[in-house]
Amino acid sequence: MASDWYCYVVESEWMPADLAGAARYTIVLHNRSAAPLSGFRLGMSGPALVVAEGPHQGCSVVTKLSNYCEIAPEAGFVLAPGASWTASLTLAFPARHWTDGAFTAMLITSDGQAQAVLTKPATNAGATTPPKRGVIRHPVAEPGVAPYAVIPWPNDVAAKGNRTAPSGLTLSAGEAEGQAAAAGFADLVGHLFPGEALVRSAEEGGYPVALAVDASLGAEAYAISFAAGSASVRANGRTGLLYGLITLGQMLRGARLYPQSFTFPTGGSISDAPGMEWRGCHFDVARQFYASGEVAQFLRTMAWNKLNRLHWHLSDDESWRVEIDAYPELTSKAAWRGHGMSIPPLLGSGPERSGGFYSKAVVRELVALAGSLGIEVVPEIDVPGHCYALIQTVSTLRDQGENGQYFSIQFFDNNSLNPALDRVYEVVETIFAELIELFPSPWFHVGADEVPHDAWDSSPQAQGLMSRVGGSEARNLQAYFLQKVQAFLTQKGKITGAWEEASEGGGIDKANCYLVGWRNVEANQRLAGEGYDVVVSPAQRYYLDMANGPDWFEPGAAWAGWSSLEMTYAFVPDAGWNAAERAHFKGVQGAIWSEPMTERAVFDRLVYPRLSAIAETGWTRPESKSWARFVGSVALMPALYGMRE
């Protein structure tokens, strides 16, 4: 096999049904080498879900798991030098965006060896605009739209006067809390804006800012007073002081980088406090792995947006991402995927061993960093569904008497922990106990989403349990499982978090949990009406894997539609709720599901600046919001990778 990866090139095209009959997804392999190719298979990895049984043309599906499949031409086929092989495949769902297609392809020879080949982004027969990557550019506001560039906008701005922007801030604090906030702010801006020297000494022209603790203010509130040549920040503690400094830093950057659009005050004040208790973002590191440095930088972008909850999605069908002493095989096996491994290349992975996990030492470092930024880290281990990687690795979790097969919506087979097995609870409680030692936050999220409706139908033990607990559906067994898991977490002093499905089949204890409503906007109000504390995160507006628009050239998913920045910003999470329902409204949360984020530039385009729109909804009173002001300042907000279109 040739060593040059561009000797073999894979192209793919989606043909919508309305253009030429039946919809089809066409794969073309070009042999640009000098040798004929025979006895091969083509492995493909990407968000696209191929239907194993077809119908297909020009190929057969040899193996398939979720979004990974291998196809082969008919027996005896030889691909001559300079020639191409074409196959048409049936997909489970229509392709809507360029990231839906195969992202990585590999040639697999008859001896089982695999080699990555050049794989071009999928095209659409009716679209010609090149694929978009990087954060969408938004122009800075014209003069007069807003005096200061601050996101989220403070709730009481009474600043006045104008001056040229300070060159940097010189911070002084007497109390330990103030000193910690000053050090945290210096570290924060040093990582987010290296080279800008936003914190500098008085000798280098810094603008004096005094920090002081004021116990009369709320936990996250702050107050800034401006004078002609200095400012002071007061807050209850470290987090409030940090938020005040972030507001000052944003004002300084706006006035310094765009002096014709923004200014800096010489008097007056800003008094500010968050509108919502829960201002968060879910971060899926299971589908795509993000190194500890990337997670740390994401925490910093959250802090700059005054977000205070990281919902850290650490496990799923595709992988396991955190060290567990009792089960070292979870990180030696389930954290990795590749050709010939128990978990094959998925979601853009190549044939090489790829992935990773977070050691306990790294988790402690990240949790400590988050705490210094005012962020609580909520771990999620998704059970009883989305457990393919866990079950493949800890084989004793299988019901040996189960003789059937069921599939999740992502086409993983038999991926749900069996509620009838005592061994399941032993494993889950052992894992959770280790993680509780790592995460001091009061919340522990257990997933509980997307369990297949026919899960455990062929398990004699599960069906025996069903007859004892009552009901006739998988969700009845799931409720039994979740109630036992919640009882364990409650005994450990934790509040159980879960996705909205935890309310089904009998539900879990409402007094010691919160649920995240995700399937549609209405679900959140329904859950609150049932008495559950609710974090609002509907896929139609707050799932940041959904594309920014309907066009093919936009990356992202489409199963819940799409949401532009303005649509995300305008969404009112508790619209139409009554007083009793609002009593259960905890706040809002964005959700980063990383399936389509096969490129880091795609991550930036999907997450930013929509994350800032969610942050402003969580912080700023509705009557203080302004789309014109927000969109005119959003270009100043940081992105994880700093990639712009």
Quickly list DSSP for 555-583.
-SB-TT----HHHHHH--TTTT--HHHHT
State the CATH architecture for 276-399+408-495: Alpha-Beta Barrel (3.20)
Q: What is the predicted pLDDT for the residue at 466?
A: 95
Q: Which of 5-19, 116-130, 265-279, 347-361 has the lowest mean pLDDT?
A: 5-19
Both tokens assigned to 520:
């549609």
Over range 581-596, report the average pLDDT: 98
Q: Which residues pair with 5 in a beta bridge?
A: none
Q: What is the predicted pLDDT for the residue at 396?
A: 87
By CB atoms closer than 10 A (0-12, 13-18, 19+), residue 270 is buried
Mean pLDDT of the chain: 96
User: In the predicted model, is pLDDT for residue 121 greater than 90?
Assistant: yes
CATH of 156-272 among 1.10.240.10, 3.50.50.60, 3.40.50.720, 3.30.379.10: 3.30.379.10
User: In the predicted model, is pLDDT for residue 622 greater than 80?
Assistant: yes
- Which residues are catalytically annotated? 450
**Interatomic CA distance for residues 337 and 355, integer angstroms:** 6
Q: What is the predicted pLDDT for the residue at 1?
A: 47
**What does the radius of gyration of the chain's CA atoms come to, in whole angstroms?**
26
Q: What is the predicted pLDDT for the residue at 398?
A: 85
Question: Please, which pLDDT band fits residue 117 given cuts at 50, 70 and 90?
Answer: very high
CATH of 8-124 among 3.30.565.10, 1.20.58.220, 2.60.40.290, 3.40.50.1970: 2.60.40.290
pLDDT in tens, 186-221: 999 999 999 999 999 999 999 999 999 999 999 999
Question: Residue holding tokens 């609580």?
Answer: 376
By CB atoms closer than 10 A (0-12, 13-18, 19+), residue 623 is exposed
pLDDT in tens, 281-290: 999 999 999 9
**Interatomic CA distance for residues 184 and 361, integer angstroms:** 21
Q: What is the predicted pLDDT for the residue at 324?
A: 98
pLDDT in tens, 244-296: 999 999 999 999 999 999 999 999 999 999 999 999 999 999 999 999 999 99
**Interatomic CA distance for residues 480 and 440, integer angstroms:** 27
Q: How do 78-79 and 585-592 pair as beta strands?
A: unpaired
pLDDT in tens, 218-232: 999 999 999 999 999
Over range 541-566, report the average pLDDT: 98
User: In the predicted model, is pLDDT for residue 428 greater than 90?
Assistant: yes
**Interatomic CA distance for residues 310 and 281, integer angstroms:** 5
CB 563 within 8 A of CB 610: yes
Give the total residue count for the chain.
645
Give the dihedral sign, CA 439/347/60/88.
positive
Question: Residue holding tokens 């004793």?
Answer: 396
CB 573 within 8 A of CB 616: no
- Collapsed DSSP state (helix, strand, coil) of residue 90: coil
**Interatomic CA distance for residues 443 and 514, integer angstroms:** 9
pTM of the predicted structure, to 2 decimals: 0.97
DSSP structural state of residue 610: H
pLDDT in tens, 61-115: 999 999 999 999 999 999 999 999 999 999 999 999 999 999 999 999 999 999 9
The domain limits of the chain are 8-124, 156-272, 276-399+408-495
pLDDT in tens, 364-373: 999 999 999 9
Q: What is the predicted pLDDT for the residue at 17?
A: 81
Closest CA to 232 of 283, 187, 193, 181: 181
pLDDT in tens, 14-60: 998 866 567 889 999 999 999 999 999 999 999 989 999 989 999 99
Per cent of the chain over pLDDT 70 is: 99
A 10 A CB-CB count for 30 gives 19
Q: Which of 4-18, 295-309, 522-536, 604-618 has the lowest mean pLDDT?
A: 4-18
What is the b/e burial string over 7-26, where b = at least 16 CB atoms within 10 angstroms of the residue's CB?
Answer: bbbbbbbbbbeeeeeeebbb
Per cent of the chain over pLDDT 90 is: 94
**Interatomic CA distance for residues 572 and 392, integer angstroms:** 42
Over range 550-560, report the average pLDDT: 97
Q: What is the predicted pLDDT for the residue at 21?
A: 64
